[in-house]
């Protein structure tokens, strides 16, 4: 091609992926791109008993349609909070040994910075209340 435009003979190789045809076909059939929903809640835990309790809490959140990320590894609370911050979640739930024994959960609002300890029975209501009050900016259609 360079030679045809007046340059020196230059060996080359190329290939085509046909992405333009794929995009055209997607437009033709009005295909929508699937975007993985982002979790709004993160579940952190410290200790063996807390880990067991957090599995139940995680299942309850999922059952109630609250998309939750978790860290069931052995990381420190600080490292788990960094993960929550990196994910951009609105709420971090923290279960330590004390909370596991007391059947409570620390609910940290990552937007306002406030936190409260709630009984396990009130957890879903407390989480939904915070999620409802937090304004989520949508960039859909940009």
The superfamily in CATH containing domain 41-133 is Anticodon-binding domain (3.40.50.800)
pLDDT tens-place string over residues 59-87? 999 999 999 999 887 789 999 999 999 99
Instruction: Break the chain into its structural domains and give their ranges.
Output: 41-133
Helix orientation angle between 48-63 and 123-133, rounded to the nearest 10 degrees: 60
- Measured CA distances, 70 to 33, 36, 104, 109, 133 (Å): 26, 16, 17, 16, 23
User: Over 60: is that where the pLDDT of 92 sits?
Assistant: yes
Q: Please check whether residue 55 is in contact with residue 94, taking contact to mean a CB–CB distance below 8 angstroms.
A: no
Quickly state the pLDDT bin for 140 (edges 50, 70, 90): very low
The pTM of this model reads 0.71
DSSP for 64-96 reads TT--EEE--SS--HHHHHHHHHHHT-SEEEEE-
């Amino acid at each position: 091609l360079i030679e045809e435009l007046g340059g020196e003979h230059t060996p080359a190789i190329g290939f085509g992926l046909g992405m333009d045809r794929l995009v055209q076909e997607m437009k033709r059939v009005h295909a929508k791109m699937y975007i993985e929903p982002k979790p709004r809640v993160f579940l952190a835990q410290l200790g063996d008993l807390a880990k067991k309790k957090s599995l139940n809490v995680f299942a309850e959140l999922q059952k109630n349609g609250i998309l939750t990320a978790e860290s069931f590894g052995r990381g420190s609370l600080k490292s788990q909070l960094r993960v929550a911050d990196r994910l951009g979640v609105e709420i971090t739930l923290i279960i330590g040994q004390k909370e596991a024994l007391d059947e409570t959960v620390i609910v940290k609002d990552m937007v306002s910075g406030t936190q409260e300890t709630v009984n396990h029975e009130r957890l879903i209501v407390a989480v939904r209340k915070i999620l409802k009050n937090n304004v989520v900016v949508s960039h859909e259609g940009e």
